[in-house]
């Protein structure tokens, strides 16, 4: 894998301020595949200065020109799709087929949607005797995780660019090569120097310096609730805009009228895809008491199809592996019944766990409350619809979810009562324009579509 040994700042690859590097590891075989520089506060400062310098001119470009650059960026992402998929497979470990379809397939859709929105958005509106202007917030500090490494970058950078903001990105230390590829793509797309800048590094150093930098006007963070809380506090103290996309513990609610086999198999696939490392994964499967045993059997059978090393990749690193195995052990300790998988590692090498299904899970168990971020499904029985709703809403999170019923209208009526930001009805398809984000402790703000664009805009009204 090709790795740059510098930071992408002001339109060029510049030597890092310090000497420390981060080793990038392939989680499938634990081999080091490259090194990138570990950014310091000095690197962050240089990148923020470059973004500030580029801001006035970029903010003043016509929306059609910004749309054209974002469209060019989409085209580069399409042209380099194979290389992107291979890079993500190498540093995240997802099977190449999944990398192609999802990790490399979704970002061009999102970039394309912002090319269109940049051109079509009403940046000026008349309200009675006022003209209301939507202006870019300024310099954006974007901090992203490793689980959807390119999607999470594009879901922040594309709307920021559409709004007229400039960006400094600090990507996850586990997946910096994808971020370097993205930086190359912004250059290929003809973005002016300084509009997009990249500082690789670790969270507590480079990430913290970026979140706390005076020259950053908005911090957009995706990752754990623990770090999100700290970033929210720092931003609050500085009266700075902040968007937080945090964890989840989403429910897959299967109503008695649903096609049970389909709801279970799609539900299991939703969790096993990306090895369970999806913030909105439907990790709690809620099934009516009368259908419980049948659903447990179907879920166990569906899970065993996700053979580690073939249909399912490893977890991203050794720490996540320990964490997930710890949760599986905790589930057993608290009295849940393993019907597939378990805490034993399937291979000696690589950070793999087996696809795991727990039955006899009660809503208060640790595995039903905390985000595991691994391929673990908990099947929970409910007595009636009110009970299902109480269980579905009974965590501190509210990011995603699913409802299945014989009729869409029945499922939608249930979904309206859920305390969560996004619900798929009978297996609804991904929509790059649908706002994505959390209720409760799953976050603040929305990404994607026009709601995602609005995060990067501030309004000014002129009265006549």
424 binds ligand NAP (CB under 6 A): no
Cβ proximity to ligand NAP, 183 vs 260, nearer residue: 183
Task: Cite the beta strand spans of 69-114 per DSSP E.
Answer: none
Query: With CB under 6 A as the contact rule, which of the stretches 94-102, 111-119, 121-129, 217-225 interacts with ligand NAP?
Result: 217-225
Cβ proximity to ligand NAP, 145 vs 355, nearer residue: 145
218 binds ligand NAP (CB under 6 A): no
Identify the bridge partners of residue 252 per DSSP, sorted by sequence position: 285, 402
Is 165 an annotated catalytic residue? no
What is the rounded CA–CA span in Å between residue 45 and residue 14? 13
Cβ proximity to ligand NAP, 164 vs 443, nearer residue: 443
Q: Which of 91, 165, 173, 245 is catalytic?
A: 245
CA dihedral sign, ordered 438, 441, 442, 444: positive
What is the rounded CA–CA span in Å between residue 372 and residue 213? 32
224 binds ligand NAP (CB under 6 A): yes
143 binds ligand NAP (CB under 6 A): yes
Contact 192, 54 (CB under 8 A): yes
Shortest Cβ 146–ligand NAP spacing (Å): 6
What is the rounded CA–CA span in Å between residue 361 and residue 292? 11
What is the rounded CA–CA span in Å between residue 376 and residue 42? 41
Cβ proximity to ligand NAP, 95 vs 203, nearer residue: 203
208 binds ligand NAP (CB under 6 A): yes
Two structure tokens written together for 439: 């209720």
Task: Cite the beta strand spans of 199-311 per DSSP E.
Answer: 218-222, 241-245, 251-254, 284-288
What is the rounded CA–CA span in Å between residue 353 and residue 349? 11
Shortest Cβ 373–ligand NAP spacing (Å): 4
Query: With CB under 6 A as the contact rule, which of the stretches 2-10, 119-127, 245-253, 388-396 interacts with ligand NAP?
Result: 245-253
Total residues interacting with ligand NAP, rule: CB under 6 A = 27
Two structure tokens written together for 448: 């994607």
Scan residues 258-287 and list those touching ligand NAP (CB under 6 A): 279
Shortest Cβ 238–ligand NAP spacing (Å): 14
CA dihedral sign, ordered 306, 307, 308, 309: negative
Shortest Cβ 463–ligand NAP spacing (Å): 40
Give the largest CA-CA distance in the chain. Answer: 72
User: Which of left, alpha, beta for 427 (phi over 0: left; psi -120 to 50: alpha)?
Assistant: left
Scan residues 145-174 and list those touching ligand NAP (CB under 6 A): 145-147, 170, 172-174
Q: Which of 173, 279, 410, 455 is catalytic?
A: 279
Cβ proximity to ligand NAP, 11 vs 223, nearer residue: 223
Contact 194, 54 (CB under 8 A): yes
202 binds ligand NAP (CB under 6 A): yes
Point out the residues that are catalytic: 245, 279
Interface residues toward ligand NAP, by CB under 6 A: 143-147, 170, 172-174, 202-204, 207-208, 211, 222-224, 227, 230-231, 245-247, 279, 371, 373
């Amino acid at each position: 894998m090709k790795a740059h040994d510098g930071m992408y700042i002001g339109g060029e690859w510049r030597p890092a301020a310090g000497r420390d590097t981060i080793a990038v590891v392939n989680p499938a075989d634990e081999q080091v595949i490259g090194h990138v520089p570990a950014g310091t506060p000095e690197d962050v400062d240089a990148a923020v200065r470059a973004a500030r310098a580029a801001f006035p001119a970029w903010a003043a470009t016509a929306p059609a020109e910004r749309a054209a650059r974002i469209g060019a960026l989409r085209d580069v992402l399409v042209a380099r799709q194979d290389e992107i998929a291979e890079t993500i497979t190498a540093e995240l470990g997802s099977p190449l087929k999944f990398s192609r379809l999802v990790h490399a397939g979704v970002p061009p859709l999102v970039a394309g949607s912002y090319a269109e929105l940049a051109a079509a958005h009403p940046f000026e509106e008349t309200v009675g005797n006022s003209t209301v202007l939507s202006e870019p917030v300024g310099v954006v500090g974007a901090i992203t995780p490793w689980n959807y490494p390119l999607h999470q970058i594009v879901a922040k950078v594309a709307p920021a660019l559409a709004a007229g903001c400039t960006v400094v990105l600090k990507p996850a230390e586990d997946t910096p090569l994808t971020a370097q590829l993205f930086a190359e793509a912004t250059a290929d797309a003809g973005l002016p120097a300084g509009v997009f800048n990249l500082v690789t590094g670790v969270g507590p150093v480079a990430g913290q310096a970026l979140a706390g930098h005076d020259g950053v006007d908005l911090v957009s963070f995706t990752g754990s609730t623990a770090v999100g809380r700290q970033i929210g506090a720092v931003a609050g103290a500085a009266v700075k805009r902040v968007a937080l996309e945090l964890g989840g513990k989403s429910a897959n609610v299967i109503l008695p009228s649903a096609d049970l086999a389909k709801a279970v198999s799609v539900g299991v696939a939703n969790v096993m895809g990306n090895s369970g490392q999806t913030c909105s994964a439907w990790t709690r499967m809620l099934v009516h008491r009368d259908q419980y045993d049948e659903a447990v059997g179907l879920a166990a059978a569906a899970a065993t199809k996700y053979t580690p090393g073939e249909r399912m990749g490893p977890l991203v690193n050794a720490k996540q592996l320990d964490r997930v195995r710890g949760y599986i052990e905790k589930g057993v300790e608290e009295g849940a019944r393993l019907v597939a998988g378990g805490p034993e590692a399937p291979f000696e090498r690589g950070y793999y766990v087996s696809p795991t299904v727990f039955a006899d899970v009660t809503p208060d168990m640790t595995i039903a409350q905390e985000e595991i971020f691994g391929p673990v499904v908990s099947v929970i029985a409910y007595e009636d619809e009110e009970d299902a709703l109480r269980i579905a809403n009974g965590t501190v999170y509210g990011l995603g979810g699913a409802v299945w019923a014989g009729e869409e209208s029945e499922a939608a009526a249930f979904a309206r009562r859920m305390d969560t930001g996004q619900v798929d009805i009978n297996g609804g398809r991904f929509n790059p324009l649908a706002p994505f984000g959390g209720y409760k402790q799953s976050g603040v703000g929305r990404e994607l579509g026009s709601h995602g664009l609005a995060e990067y805009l501030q309004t000014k009204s002129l009265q006549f």
